[in-house]
Amino acid sequence: MGPESCFDFVKLPKTDLHVHLEGTLEPEMLFRLAGRNHIPLPWKSPAMLREACRFRDLAGFLAIYYKGCEVLVTEQDFYDLARAYLERAAADGVVHTEFYFNPQLFCRESTPLAAIMRAIFCAMDEMRDRISSFYMGTVMRTRPVEEALRALDELAPWYDRIVAFGMGGAENGNPPSRFQRYFDACRERGFRTCVHAGEEGPAAYVREAVALGIDRIDHGNAAIQDPELVRLLAERRIPLTMCPISNLRLNVVNELSGHPLKRMLSRGVCVTVNSDDPAYFLGYASDNWAAVHRALDLSGAELRQLALNGVEASFLPEARKAVLREKIKRVLPSA
């Protein structure tokens, strides 16, 4: 055990580059909003909902996740969600977050898109001094590419507030290449691109993401099975936003000691630590850092590299990156 074994990861200035705003809906807030909006729930209490969060796989998780999304109805609901997440992340030592939000999940007459976007950007602006944040659009890979293109168009009024577009949802049978037109359209409009790949899907999907010119890959675990691909990721410094606790809860890995993060890091890949859906996976950013440090016995130098990778992998301007690098180096000086 190194001297960092007792390190308080809340004190580490961190990025969280792979987090879904919908996945930050804590059971208590979920129940409060359900009551406010008169929406029946299949669970009797927040504790029972937490109990239900023992998922076998991604599909089991998504069923509960989409149910949770149903309670978000009014502008106030979306504001409360975004504000609570940013407060919690800031308290957790996250200095910069890039979060996904998918308006496709909330296409109801009762909830105008403009109200949702206003609520989220309002919370981001109010919290600006405590945590910098970027909004990323995302679409579902289980739906047709035409729908993804439509979702991209619908966000046009807010393009100046959006930094990137990604894609998530059940992975197997829905390879990134099927969405080439969507990613091309994102790039043409000046956005950075991300895609979930190699979580439950194969290394071949990560390869496809690289071939598509994707800027940042979410998860990417399966790439470890393809040494040539690992070399390519390292050479091009294509970041992987890994989510250790999420992987454990969804049985992407049986134990964190078998997580590929450390092996990828040692081969020069720009791997980062992130939270994914912290309310449902019962772990925020610093919990992920502590868990992966404990399981993989990371050295001080490795922790420092991981933290710096988070800054490198972010879509921040260089000036802000330089500030964050200095913050990290003050907390984790090189030996």
Angle of helix 75-91 relative to helix 27-36, nearest 10 degrees, comes to 160
Chain centroid to CA 234: how far?
21
Give the residue at shortest CB distance from Zn ion: 276
Closest CA to 218 of 158, 136, 287: 136
> Among residues 276 and 287, whose Cβ is nearest to Zn ion?
276
Q: How far is the CB of 168 from Zn ion (least distance, A)?
A: 5
CB of 60 to Zn ion, least distance (A): 15
Binding mask 245-284 for Zn ion (x = CB under 5 A): -------------------------------x--------
Size of the site for Zn ion (CB under 5 A): 1
Instruction: State the minimum distance, in angstroms, from the CB of residue 297 to Zn ion.
Output: 26
- Give me the least distance between CB of 229 and Zn ion, in Å please: 20
The CA-based diameter of the chain, rounded to the nearest angstrom, is: 58
Report the residue number, 186 or 332, with the smaller CB distance to Zn ion.
Answer: 186
Known catalytic membership, residue 171:
no
Q: Which is nearer to Zn ion, 73 or 120 (CB)?
A: 120
Q: Cα-flanking dihedrals φ and ψ of residue 282, to 5°? A: 55, 45
Supply angle C-alpha 58, 64, 68, rounded to 5: 130
Q: Is 199 in the site for Zn ion (CB under 5 A)?
A: no
Please state, in angstroms and rounded to a whole number, the distance separating the CA atoms of residues 103 and 46: 25
What is the 8-class DSSP label of residue 335? -
Q: Give SS3 for 167.
A: strand
Distance in angstroms (rounded) separating the CA atoms of residues 276 and 329: 25
* Per-residue CA distances from 110 to 60, 106, 119, 127, 135 (Å): 28, 9, 15, 27, 23
Q: Cα–Cα–Cα angle for 183, 252, 146, nearest 5°?
A: 25
Token pair, residue 236, equals 């091009």
Candidates 4, 199, 200, 302; catalytic one: 199
Nearer to Zn ion, 77 or 98 (CB): 98
Q: How far is the CB of 277 from Zn ion (least distance, A)?
A: 7
Binding site for Zn ion (CB under 5 A): 276
Residues marked active site are found at 199
